[in-house]
Each structure stands twice: as C-alpha cells, then as structure tokens.
A and B are shown apart, each in its own frame.
Chain A
Amino acid sequence: MGKCDALVIGGSAGSLDVLLKVLPLLDPALSFPVVIVIHRKHGTDSLLPELLSGRTPLKVKEVDEKEPILPGVIYIAPSDYHTLIEQDHTFSLDYSEKINYSRPAIDATFQTAAEVYGEKLVCLLLSGSNADGVNGLKSVNIWGGIAMIQDPATAQVAYMPEQAALHAKIDYTLRIEDMAEFINLLS
C-alpha cells in the first residue's frame, strides 16, 4: 500500500457513531493528519472536538485558518465555514455559499485536498442522507488518490455512500469494524 500524506473523512447523518467507534482504535503514532468534515447544525461549535478528544489517543482540534496541517493530529472542520486545503499544507476557511445545502461541505475539502495531496490522499465517505462528498470523490479519482466509502450495508443512512458508489470509482468499501485497522496500516 502506498504512503498516505493525509486522510480526509466526510460524513453526515449517522457518521458520528462511526467516528466514536473508529477513532479510539487509531494508532497514536499515525504518520499523517486526519481531517474530519461532519455536517452539523451551526452553533454547536466547540462540542464536537471536545467530544472526540476524549475518545482517541491522538490530538484533536478544530481547524484554525492558516494553520499548518501536521501529522498525527485530528482536525475537525468548524461549523458554518468551508474548510479548504492550500498547496503549502495549511488550512484556509471560506464562508461562501452552501454546497449541497451544507457548510462545511465535504466536497470543498475533498476537492482541494485532492489537488494538493494527489496520489497520497485517502478520502473516506461515511453514512449520510445527501450527496455531499460525491463530487469530491470524483476529484480524488482524477488526481489519483484513494477513494473509500463506508459499506452502505453498515451505514445508518446508506444514501451518501451509495451515491458515491454510483458516481465515483471506489477503491475500498469498508465495514465499520475494519476501518481503524485499515487506517493504521496506511501509516
């Protein structure tokens, strides 16, 4: 398996449960950053990083704009902004129109990450009830990265990974119980 420079995970309805199962099992010495983009209601800002940081050996923090992206850190996209990835491996934030009724939009992060990390990018799309992330996975295909989805059979809401499977080339379909091991092996 090729070396991974960044893992980006996107999800919507039903994805938080997956994260709560997978993040505790991640290798504390992970050699790449993990960026998580989860749809949620604006105003519940700092709750998600707090909730997740108690559940994993890795450092968890909310994305700050212009922040360098470092290995071994789990970054959470803030609510009500799009999180973009710059060529110099820093984050920038954007308050432009919602995409797929969503801000943060998974597409925005997947697409910008795809251009920056190319073949060294791994993207994972989880459970959800809209098609955000699907165009992003198509960009991952174009730039040669690895596109993965949660096995729709294990998803609380299968629509999002199903749409991805219909419209993008999926390299791996993962069950929840296999995700952590798979991610650790990317290191």
Chain B
Amino acid sequence: MNLELPLITDGQVEILLTDLLEHYGYDFTGYSKASIKRRILRLYSLDKALSFAEFRYRINNDTFYFKRFVEQITVNVTEMFRDPLFFKTLREVVLPKLGTYPFIRIWLAGCSTGEEAYSISIILKELNLLHKSLIYATDLNPIVLEKASQGMFAMSQMKQYSENYILSGGVNDFSSYYTANYSLAKFNDELKSKLIFSTHNLVSDHSFNEFQLILCRNVLIYFDRDLQHKVLSLFDDSLEGLGYLALGTKETLDFSPISPNYKRIPAEKIWRKVS
C-alpha cells in the first residue's frame, strides 16, 4: 500500500496566493480555501512539479506558466443551457420584460469559455431581441476568453446541449445554429455579433456600465462570504432599477446586505432589484 504525505500544506497555499497578489496583482486570497487548494494540488500533480520550491519559482518567473496556473486553478467547467429550467425562465419571464426596453444590456460575469453567452444569444435571437441587445461577457482569464470568442465547442457535446436546449423551451432545430467542422461545432457568426468578450476581475475591478440583467452563475461558490458580499455590491452598483440578477443553483442573495432591495422570482435563483 502506497501512502504518501500531502504534497502542499495550507501554509504553502497561502504563500502562493500572496506571491500572485504581489507579483501579478491577482488576488485569490478571498477564495474558498478547500477548493483552491484542490486546484493547486491537481496542477502540481498534473505538471509533475519536483518540489514546492520549484513550483513556486516557476509561477513567479515564467509568465507562460503563470498564465497556465491562473487558468488551471480557476474552474472553467460550463455547458450550454446548463440547468434548462433556469433558461426557460429567462426565455419566458425575464427577457420578455426586458424586451419592452429600447436597448438591452446584459453582463455575464465569469463567462469562462462562453457556452452560456452563446445560449443567451440564441434565446435573444428567437425572441427577436438580439438586434437591440449587447452582452458583455467577462472573465478574469484571457485564455478562456480567447476560446469563447471563437465560438467553437466540441461536437461530442452537441447531443447533450441539444437536449438542454429543448428542455429550456427551444423549438428550433439546435443544429441549425452551428456547422460541424470535424470534431468542432462552429456557432453562427450572427450569434457572436452582439457578444463583447473582455477581461474583468470581480475581485479587483470596478463597475463599468449599467445593466438590466446580470448573470453570474457558479462563481460566488468559490468566494468566501466577505468576498461574496463585496461582489454582490458590485453587481448592485451595476444594475438598473427593476433589473435582474441571476445566480447559480446553489447560490443565494439571502445573507447579503443588498438583499432587502431585491425580490426573488419564486423557485429560481433570479432576483429583481425593486428599490
């Protein structure tokens, strides 16, 4: 039986996070510790680091490796139309309300590789609202944004995404939105026409516009309570009156100082700013 001692201690995780802040200005100190430690350990094993010292040296001195580090310690798992019932509510309740505005501004914070951004584009197009919408899709990580802007996703996922799309209330042929290119599905350029991908770090960057809908799903779970409150205030500052804020299935506004100003749509993790 092969029992090895843990490779990295909590103290060493703190050292790495302090380095990142001091050398690169990336602040991960408000992230949930168990999750980020697992991500770091995963990368440490994956890249077969020889020692903590070597691993640390590389992150601090090799810019390419630093980029890999940031990409790998953040979670970039996402799907098109993930949680189809959520997207059904967007389609049937939220976006039709916003459709009465002359212009719709949406912020998708923590967009990762873009699957949700294209999902929203598809719904807007079907509601005939895409032409008067702009979707700002942001992430702290330039590598995933590069991928997002290409609009190409694995062909092997399309069956699942098509099922999600139908469950979310989609009635078209899902395959009409992309062309198959070997192992990749390339989504139609029209869907990209109203998407603006750009870097934004929720921890350190400020509000950059006012929106009628902000979506940030499965990002706050990685933050500690203080950071969650700070980011929710940032969203509050960036949301117009009567605008909507959408969070992930297991996330909530309940414990936040901004919650008295919001009214929840029953059964969904969507809140409307009422004052």
Contact = CB atoms under 8 A, between A and B. Distances in A.
Contacts of B224: 66
Contacts of A92: 32, 34-35, 221-222
B1 interface: yes
Interface string B216-238: 00100110110010000000000
B78 to A, nearest CB: 8
A66 B225 contact: yes
A142 B39 CA distance: 20
B38 A93 contact: no
Interface in B245-260: 248-252
B201 to A, nearest CB: 19
A94 B1 contact: no
A87 interface: yes
B4 A86 contact: no
Interface residues of B, number: 25
Nearest to A66: B225
Interface in B1-31: 1, 3-6, 10
A84 interface: yes
B38 A108 contact: yes
Given A65-B250, A65-B251, A95-B75, A84 B35 contact: yes
A115 B33 contact: no
A92 B4 CA distance: 25
Nearest to A81: B250
Contacts of A108: 38
Interface residues of A, number: 27
Given A66-B225, A94-B221, A108-B38, A87 B250 contact: no
A171 interface: no
Contact of A94 (B10, B222, B225, B251): B222
Contacts of A141: 1, 3
Contacts of B251: 65
Most buried by B among A96, A97, A111, A142: A96
A112 B75 CA distance: 18
Contact of A86 (B34, B222, B248, B252): B34
B6 A95 contact: no
A167 interface: yes
B98 to A, nearest CB: 27
A86 B77 contact: no
A95 B78 CA distance: 9
A169 interface: yes
A141 B228 CA distance: 35
Contacts of B3: 138, 141-142, 169
Contacts of B6: 115, 142
A62 B240 CA distance: 33
